[in-house]
């Protein structure tokens, strides 16, 4: 496999209501690239959320007594806690400065994905309401596979990693079960989270401060599927860490 990942340059500042697909297509062309049906475009959650208007001004938020109480326990702005709770199905852990939450989308992440980076002061962004739908709309517009990415922490590991939170056309996993390794052993549990691996690799190419919120992935062998990100979400009864 000859995997090539190229950051998409010349992206404009994304504002609510903008046609993100059009912006991406124009920026891909301006970067001297083209799109083929076998390509995959990794797109950060932040620009998807901005285009979909998933932005909240903290100055407009009135925290509830419950949010004030939690804010005092974890040392966060009670207005921010109020927004986080609105995005949260359940709180799994609370520590100083962070809430580990299950979002309404089924994702387990810090602060329910509510984030203040790469956005105007006094503003925060929320995750897309339906990242798979967002990915499908872009895939239909652009004619390629799409992965919507976000930066997550990992259990028992330091550092952050870009991961897939929404997919369209792209298979979420590569299943090697039933195949044999170099020593003739039958593989029984080897299912690689390929969408996450591609998201992580694209994150390295995009960087965090370079202003390149999309990357073109070429050379990965895949077949189109109708799978959703739910294929990568482990059921609570199978999770050993909760």
SS3 53: coil
Residues 48, 64: one domain? no
**Does 41 share its domain with 90?**
no
Tell the residue number behind the tokens 């299912």, with chain if given.
Answer: 191
**Residue 167: domain span:** 1-52+128-233
Residues 63 and 170 both lie in one domain? no
Average pLDDT over the chain, rounded to whole? 91
Q: How far is CA 2 from CA 5, 123, 134, 218, 220, in A?
A: 10, 41, 28, 8, 7
Q: Are residues 84 and 192 in the same domain?
A: no
240 belongs to a structural domain:
no
Residue 239 belongs to a domain: no
User: 10-65, pLDDT tens digit by residue?
Assistant: 999 999 999 999 999 999 999 999 999 899 999 999 999 999 999 999 999 999 99
pLDDT digits (tens, 9 = 90+) for 55-109: 999 999 999 999 999 999 999 999 999 999 999 999 999 988 899 999 999 999 9
Last residue of a domain, which of 63, 93, 127? 127
Helix (H) or strand (E) holding 81: helix 78-86
19 and 133 share a domain?
yes
Question: Given 68, 98, 127, which residue is the final one in a domain?
Answer: 127
Q: Are 142 and 181 within one domain?
A: yes
């Amino acid at each position: 496999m000859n995997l090539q990942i190229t950051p998409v340059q010349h992206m404009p500042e994304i504002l609510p209501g903008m046609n993100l697909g059009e912006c991406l297509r124009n920026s891909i062309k301006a970067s001297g690239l083209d799109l083929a049906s076998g390509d995959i475009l990794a797109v950060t959650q932040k620009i998807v959320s901005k285009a979909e208007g998933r932005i909240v001004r903290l100055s407009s938020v009135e925290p509830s007594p419950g949010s004030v109480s939690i804010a005092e326990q974890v040392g966060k702005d009670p207005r921010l806690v109020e927004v986080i709770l609105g995005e949260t199905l359940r709180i799994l852990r609370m520590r100083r400065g962070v809430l580990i939450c299950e979002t309404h989308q089924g994702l387990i992440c810090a602060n329910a994905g509510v984030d203040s980076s790469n956005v105007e002061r006094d503003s925060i962004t929320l995750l897309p309401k339906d990242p798979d739908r967002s990915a499908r709309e872009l895939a239909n517009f652009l004619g390629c596979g799409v992965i919507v990415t976000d930066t997550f922490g990992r259990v028992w590991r330091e550092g952050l990693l870009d991961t897939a939170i929404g997919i369209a056309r792209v298979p979420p996993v590569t299943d090697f079960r039933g195949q044999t390794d170099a020593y003739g052993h039958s593989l029984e549990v080897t299912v690689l989270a390929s969408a996450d691996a591609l998201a992580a690799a694209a994150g390295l190419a995009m960087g965090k401060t370079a202003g390149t919120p999309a990357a073109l992935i070429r050379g990965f062998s895949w077949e189109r599927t109708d799978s959703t990100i739910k294929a990568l979400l482990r059921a609570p009864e199978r999770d050993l860490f909760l």
